[in-house]
Amino acid sequence: MAYTVSIKWGKEKFDKVDLDTSEPPEVFQAQLFCLTSVPPERQKIMAKGKTLKGEWTGFPVKTGMTLLLMGSADVLPDEPVKKTQFVEDMKEGEVAGGATFSAGLTNMGNTCYMNATIQCLKNVPELQAGLDSYSGRLDFGSIMTNPSEAITVSLRDLYKLMDKAQSVPPIIFLQVLHTVFPHFAEKGEGGVYQQQDANECWTQMVRMLQTRLPALPSTSSEQVNGAGKASSLVDQCLGLDFKSTLKCDEAEGEPSSESTERLYQLSCFISADVKYLHTGLRLRLKETVTKHSTTLERDASYTKTSAITRLPSNLAIQFVRFFYKEKEKINAKILKDIKFPLMLDVYDLCDADLQAKLVPMREKFKEQEDKEAEQKAKAKSKESMEVDEKERKTKELPSSFPGDMCSNNSGYYELSAVLTHKGRSSSSGHYVGWVRWKGDDWLMYDDDNVTPVKSADVLKLSGGGDWHSAYVLMYSTRKLIVDDE
């Protein structure tokens, strides 16, 4: 049942607050947290002398009544009195306690999978900008009728909180996620939330954002790579286009068939001979499948050959580390060490047409690298190089194709975020987000514990044991900075 009530909290009163007893009380508590900043664990809600105790049964509610809320709000952080320091200028202890970067997220009970996903996706600048400009408000009464709106608005609001605080309990977003995807709210013994698969959370969040965030308008009418007008910002900044050819191995006369598809992640398959990320990615481009042959009138073996026809500005890659063990009924983990690079080149994964379009920008990268190498060789001293760098005027060249916003026009990427898992099963263990801050400096987001690390520490997350191993990688387009002559 839906009601409209008033809330009396100290000297303040909030009128026309929606309360729906068909939803768990935690949802209503999250609403009160938005209004008053009183965390749910400190809320005491009373009506006619009775206290809300975790369920609506026996708690008197009717439209127009006033509920009494007791509890102290979280204290807002004071305005900083010191000049802002950047992480590269801080000592380790200062970084851990500073507020010059995105806040950590409180673990609400096996919610590290969600926290790590949120931190990694926040490092996609296009998504962050799209959410910042997104309008709308969260209506708890219409979450199930408009789930993508609820996910988008609650994520936008959470990101804004994360930019203002040092640690944030993601109460509202968690409640929305549980309402939209009930299996994420499954509880085990003792009533504690069960661990979930972070990549599944990642995939569902991206799917929700895809339906809400509008595409950026193109700055050119020219279309490249066969790219039509994108319908979503997610399609632009995360969408990979593939072209596949299917050829029957057992009937030479049967004509091959072609198809296209759009994906939002590449998959790195892990087998005995895969030691490096690139090897695993290439395995996906040529595979054997079994399907019905109209020529042979039976199932036959087919070779499926694929190639990328469109590269996004942000490339997500999943290590396929989990497989289902029927006997134990768990998603067991492949612990094998798979090396991944800080700089990734996917030129050889693309089809010939796209490769030809990538060449001009790749040549510019080569010219700039040769020029910088020559300048370093001519430099007489370190001091003279520093002076030159200070006086140097530079500009950033466009990294997208004309008419294809948020594409990648070089095939070059650099690692920007890593989501790792520690444990033996996707439904147990612990997830952590590792986010590039600037240059060689990274931040490890272990829920609300934020620690500075270096690129060398991130490269050690390749697996091979029970320590954290990379599960999802995010690569961002490399930017080319040249002299502004």
Look at residues 455, 198, 265, 453 and name the one whose alpha carbon lies nearest to residue 341.
455
CA distance 148 to 146: 6
CA distance 54 to 74: 22
Neighbours of 339 (CB within 10 A): 14
Look at residues 280, 301, 316, 252 and name the one whose alpha carbon lies nearest to residue 124.
316
Using the 8-state DSSP alphabet, how is residue 479 labeled?
A: P
Residues 6+ apart with CB under 8 A from 284: 266, 267, 268, 269, 306
Using the 8-state DSSP alphabet, how is residue 80 labeled?
A: P
Look at residues 430, 435, 422, 432 and name the one whose alpha carbon lies nearest to residue 474.
435
CA distance 386 to 457: 28
| 112 has catalytic annotation | yes
* Residue whose tokens read 């500009």: 395
Residues 6+ apart with CB under 8 A from 383: none
CA distance 139 to 80: 34
Q: Which of 112, 201, 237, 268 is catalytic?
A: 112
Radius of gyration in angstroms for the set of CA atoms belonging to the chain, rounded to a whole number = 26
SS3 letters across 286-315: EEEEEEEECCCCEEEEEEEEEEEEECECEE
| 255-282 per-residue burial string, b: 16 or more CB within 10 A, e: under 16 | eeeeeeeeebbbebbbeeebeebbbbbe
Could you give the C-alpha distances from 203 to 8, 207, 265, in angstroms and in order?
A: 41, 6, 9
CA distance 5 to 443: 44
* Residue whose tokens read 């444990």: 423
Please give the single-letter amino acid code of residue 5.
Answer: V
CA distance 194 to 73: 29
Q: Which residues are catalytic?
A: 112, 430
